[in-house]
Amino acid sequence: MMTAQAVRIGRDTKPAAFTRPSLTFDSYCGLLRTLASQGHRPNLLVAVGQGMSTDATARRVMTLGVLPFHWCALPGQLILPPRKRGTLFLNDVGALSRAQQLTLYDWLSAECEELQAVSITSVPLESMVEDGQFLEALYYRLNVVRLDVTRHG
């Protein structure tokens, strides 16, 4: 069984975070679908537990997106859609190079009201930020709502 724990962090602010109790993955996805039906589609960072596949988690998280879907599998070329609409899925966001991080941050910083970014990672981005390997501003831009996915039982 997969469980998820949500931590809410405001956009571009340092964590004065609060945690929510652990929910099943499906229950948490249901909560996000309810928010989306009310017009709330915050950026989502999905942190995948050690030994779990980001690809398998991405397939489950895709059900939360709104068309059109834009898929960017990393490491590799960062391909950003010409129109900022729908859902941008960034699989393995921890693999972004510094240049790609800057490009993505600049792109997200300019008018993105109709776009939701869903980033999936299996590496602890917090430690990458502390080590200077990941842009702190981009981390907070992507980590508006966090979903920690772990395997239990």
Position 91 pLDDT exceeds 80: yes
The total domain count for the chain is 1
Q: What is the pTM of this model?
A: 0.77
pLDDT in tens, 3-17: 444 444 344 444 444
Region 111-115 average pLDDT: 78
Which residues form the domain of 116? 43-123+141-153
Any domain includes 152: yes
Between 79 and 41, the more confident residue is 79
Q: To the nearest whole percent, how much of the chain has pLDDT over 90? A: 27
Whole-number Å distance between alpha carbons of 86 and 27: 23
Q: To the nearest whole percent, how much of the chain has pLDDT over 70? A: 78
pLDDT band per the 50, 70, 90 thresholds, residue 133: very high
Between 36 and 144, the more confident residue is 144
Any domain includes 112: yes
CATH of the domain at 77: 3.40.50.300
Any domain includes 83: yes
Residue partners of 20: CB distance under 8 A and separation at least 6: 5, 6, 7, 8
pLDDT band per the 50, 70, 90 thresholds, residue 97: very high
Among candidate residues 152, 147, 148, the one with its CA nearest the CA of residue 43: 147
Any domain includes 1: no
Any domain includes 72: yes
Any domain includes 56: yes
pLDDT band per the 50, 70, 90 thresholds, residue 136: very high
3-state secondary structure of 105: helix
Any domain includes 55: yes
Question: What is the reported pLDDT for 9?
Answer: 39
Any domain includes 31: no
pLDDT in tens, 26-76: 776 777 777 776 677 788 888 888 777 777 777 777 777 778 888 888 889
